Chain A
Amino acid sequence: MSSQTVTTAPSTAPSSAPNTELTSRLFWALSDSLTLVGRSTRKGLRSLDALLTAVLLPVMLLLMFVYVFGGAIHTGTSYIDYVVPGIILLCAGFGSASVSSSVCEDMTSGAIDRFRSMPIVSSAVLTGNVIAGMIRNVISTLLVLAVALVIGFHPTAGILGWLGVLGMLLLFMAAISWLAACFGLIARTAEAANAFTFIVMFLPYVSSAFIPTRTMPRGLRAFATHQPVTPIIETVRGLLTGTPIGGDAVTALAWCIGGIVLGCAGATLLFRRRTAP
């Protein structure tokens, strides 16, 4: 018996393989990615504690800032309208950052070895985690937004404004998720990978999320004004409540796209290095 004859087990034949080799390869690459997105989405939505934290933490912060500190903070508008865009961003960032631990888990469990020993594009594991993370985040962000609306948040945005907010948030989530994926590829344990969440959590505090940056001391103000989260928050706030946006939108887009490019390239490189034969 020759060894070649055993390689073609009938059951491995693709079900509906398209004609040309290239289309077929693209087709299966896409199909495999979707399968892995499905896998990560299911896992993400089933880890209830993580989902709960992703919703509860921003909601607690929202309530605390609106009812405890809010009375003492003067922003020129009603404080709840000021703070909700910041909270939403914090929620989106916090959730996206958790992609680092799910990526790390896949890289350190037996999963990656199995995927790599199969004839599939194994980096689809990353895409799966990132897209699933975004799906989960859209859900948790919507829940936080719903709470905000219940306690008196009054957005003035029209359809276009909402679409703009959605687009901005998706870009932001994608950027944070890909950067988180890099972190997950560097970290050796899921706990260590989780540290990325804290970095991302910290940024909104030193931004215009909770208080206008003009009230901060000089050095801090310089950082707060120029760090990526502030222009994104200002853009979302402008779209939702009609505050002036100005150049912030362009800066925000630049940060997000820069983050996506950097994160994507970094993750691809790190993945290749980590899995180099």
Chain B
Amino acid sequence: MSYTIEVSGLTKSFGKSRALAGLDLRVEPGQVFAVLGPNGAGKTTAVRILSTLIAPDGGTARVAGYDVIEEPHKVRAAISLTGQLTAVDGLLTGEENLLMMARLRHLGRRARRARTEELLEQFDLQEARGRRVSSYSGGMRRRLDLALSLVSGPPVIFLDEPTTGLDPRSRRGLWDAVKTLAGSGTTILLTTQYLEEADQLADRIAVIDDGRVVAEGTAEELKARVGSETVELFFSDQRMLAEAVKAIERRHGRARAASPAPRQDRERLSLLLASDGSASAVRGLLETMEAADVAVDRMALHRPTLDEVFLNLTERRADRGPELHAKGVPERRADRGPERI
């Protein structure tokens, strides 16, 4: 298998601050690959190295089969970058921006016109084509920016936080554009701090923190890492809660109860139990309660979200509450309240 993007052991420091600390990535041809991480995790640095804008301190990076340091010119012919700062010219019209980019991509006169028409159509900018870009909305600018990077039909595209600062509707519009692009077989590496974005767009996700990959896989695989679903049972008082704990312990036996231990939440008068979320498992649990004469007020089922994966994986030791760590249940669950079923 040869990879379209292959990064190994990439390091880069700016003065004393270390942006990349041995980054490894492998992106297959045609894949949409999301690099997910908090601010300052090294996402932009990675993209800048891959698009030949800066050189790494160590490690290697190959894009479309070429080494980014040895053959930057060949890499540039194969890629296109849409950076965080929009690179559109406000004083030119959308159409002029596209035509100019087509010239710089060395398309012939007729091809320039045809490609511009295509992209104006594809990105829903037909109506605004003759207007100066300075009058465009943020979403339109981003769409034009993306269109500009597609003029030459590059096989590899880098999108550095493509939807940061966009309102939800414009974000969806841009997602649709990226999905269409992905459908055409283009290899896309995008960085984002939005889990939903990675979940929506990417075939594969690498979670990075402090300049290295802390987890990698499909959205499903990453969710599975946090564990299965959690059932939460609510009781009317402390006594019922205590009874319920006893009932569970009796059912599982002491040995089995140790892994994943049920957790009591005395304030919420609830009991949290790991479960596969299946109807039969939930029924079994309720039957156990009934057999022990424990009245369950109501219950909730929590599914792990990428948010939880993300927080779990990227939380630094310093900000991590000790008890939260021990119990393995992400803290945000409590703030959000349960999902009712």
Contacts and interface: CB of A to CB of B under 8 A. Distances in A.
A221 to B, nearest CB: 44
A46 B4 CA distance: 42
B83 interface: yes
B171 to A, nearest CB: 19
B255 interface: no
B153 A11 contact: yes
A189 interface: no
B153 A35 contact: no
Contact of B87 (A10, A111, A275): A111
A7 B65 contact: yes
A72 interface: no
A42 B96 contact: yes
A118 B87 contact: no
Contacts of B79: 117
B29 A6 contact: yes
B187 A14 contact: no
A35 B72 CA distance: 22
A9 interface: yes
A235 B283 CA distance: 99
B81 A117 contact: yes
Nearest to B187: A6
Contacts of A220: none
A16 B52 contact: no
B100 A39 contact: yes
Q: Which of B96, B103, B111, B115 neighbours the largest number of chain A CB atoms within 10 Å of its CB?
A: B103
A106 B85 CA distance: 11
A219 interface: no
A175 to B, nearest CB: 26
Given A6-B155, A7-B78, A11-B107, A110 B83 contact: yes
Contacts of B166: none
A2 B72 CA distance: 19
Interface residues of A, number: 38
B39 interface: no
Nearest to B105: A12
A35 B96 CA distance: 11
Contact of B103 (A31, A42, A43): A31
Contact of B2 (A2, A10, A117): A2
Contacts of B87: 109-111, 113-114
B80 interface: yes
Contacts of A42: 91-92, 96
B104 A117 contact: no
Interface residues of B, number: 54
A111 B108 CA distance: 23
Contact of B153 (A2, A9, A47, A275): A9
B84 A120 contact: no
Nearest to A1: B29
B10 to A, nearest CB: 14
Contact of A120 (B54, B104, B108): B104
A179 B87 CA distance: 25
Given A15-B106, A35-B104, A3 B81 contact: no
Given A2-B65, A7-B65, A15 B86 contact: no
Contact of A7 (B51, B64, B84, B96): B64
The interface centre, meaning the residue of A12, A36, A43, A47 with most chain B CB atoms within 10 A of its CB, is A12
Given A15-B106, A39-B89, A277 B53 contact: yes
A4 B104 CA distance: 23
B282 interface: no
29 contacts: A1-B29, A6-B156, A9-B152, A9-B155, A11-B152, A11-B153, A12-B152, A12-B154, A14-B106, A16-B108, A35-B100, A35-B104, A38-B100, A42-B96, A43-B91, A46-B132, A109-B87, A110-B83, A110-B85, A110-B86, A110-B87, A116-B52, A116-B53, A117-B52, A119-B76, A119-B77, A275-B53, A277-B69, A277-B72
Interface of B: 2-4, 29-30, 48, 51-55, 64-66, 69, 72-74, 76-87, 89, 91-92, 96, 100, 103-109, 111, 115, 132, 145, 148-149, 152-156, 187
Given A1-B30, A114-B87, 14 more contacts: A6-B64, A7-B65, A7-B66, A9-B153, A9-B154, A12-B106, A35-B103, A39-B100, A46-B91, A46-B92, A111-B89, A113-B81, A117-B52, A118-B76
